[in-house]
Amino acid sequence: MSATTSNNCTVVTVPALQDNYMYLIIDRESRQAAAVDPVDVDAIQKAAADHDATIATILTTHNHWDHAGGNLKLAAAIPSIRVYGGRGDGVPGCTHEVGDGDAFDVGRKTRVEVLHTPCHTPGHVCYHVDGAHVFTGDTMFVSGAGNLNDGTPAQLTEAFDKILRLPSDTKVWVGHEYTARNCAFACFCEPNNKGMRERLEWARERGSLHTGGKGTVPSTIAEERANNPFARIDEPTVMEFCGMCDDRAERMRLVRKGKDDWSRSN
């Protein structure tokens, strides 16, 4: 488990399942913590104990079982726990439904602001924490994006715009370790982009935290602007990949379709 600090909190990365990421956000002054998408309850509780922290809050990005599947078990173990989830998303055990612009604290000083990012699920939210971190669930991955499911390309475009407006040095903590394949598609999308080829090699060298590697989280907003095809729909090279269409949501659809088509043969 790795730990990263900001003004008021420490973020601990905890791998789960085959490629999921959970996180522990520890308010340093109070040692109270929020567990982000704690599907593996035993592992997240061990992480809290190892870091002398007390879990008081669950931050759920969306309702899928591999993110919200541990909520009820953790709530049973900690009856006073606060469970946050997106409004209308049907998050198991949710005690506090939240929407765009809502804000609350973890512990004494760690501020959490909610970004409503519907698409992957109707009530998907991201959490902007301590002015320094954003937890993006299955909306934004390192060099990638989540499936649309029942959402629309326009929703994904709006969600990415919202996340990408955060400061460039904001650390991006994603829901899955998909980085190497995402970077391979990015190179397919922009074959002459030297930076993307270098990032692919970096991702392959880092490997997955789940299988003994170092993992690829966190990224930053600046790195996603430079290397994520879904964040680059206004760049000439990505516009060319999309056939130079004028509509931004249509370009997002075409990048998503391009990734899906590429994935079926790679």
120 a catalytic residue: yes
Q: Which is catalytic among the residues 116, 120, 124, 128?
A: 120
Task: Sort strands 9-16 and 20-27 into parallel, antiparallel or unpaired.
Answer: antiparallel
List the structure tokens of 116. Answer: 């409503």
Q: What is the CA radius of gyration of the chain?
A: 18
Active site includes 176? yes
Q: Which amino acid is at 39?
A: V
Q: Which of 40, 67, 89, 133 is flagged as catalytic?
A: 67
Q: Which of the following is catalytic: 37, 64, 89, 124?
A: 64
Name the nearest CA neighbour of 187 among 143, 249, 243: 143
**Catalytic site residue from 37, 40, 62, 128:** 62
Q: Where are the beta strands (DSSP E) in 71-223?
A: 82-86, 96-98, 103-106, 110-116, 125-129, 133-137, 140-141, 144-145, 171-174, 219-220
CA 122 to chain centre: 16
Return the C-alpha torsion angle 135, 140, 144, 148, nearest 10: 140
Instruction: For residue 96, indicate whether it is catalytic.
Output: no
Half-sphere exposure at residue 238, Cβ-oriented, CA atoms within 13 angstroms: 26
Q: Are 256 and 153 in contact (CB under 8 A)?
A: yes
The answer to whether 67 is a known catalytic residue is yes
The catalytic position among 40, 66, 89, 130 is 66
Instruction: Tell me which residue of 4, 42, 46, 41 sits closest to 26, measured CA to CA.
Output: 4
- The verdict on whether 210 is a catalytic residue reads no
Rounded Cα distance between 17 and 15, Å, is 7
Rounded CA separation 26/178 (Å): 25
Amino acid code (one letter) for 37:
D
- Catalytic positions are 62, 64, 66-67, 120, 138, 176
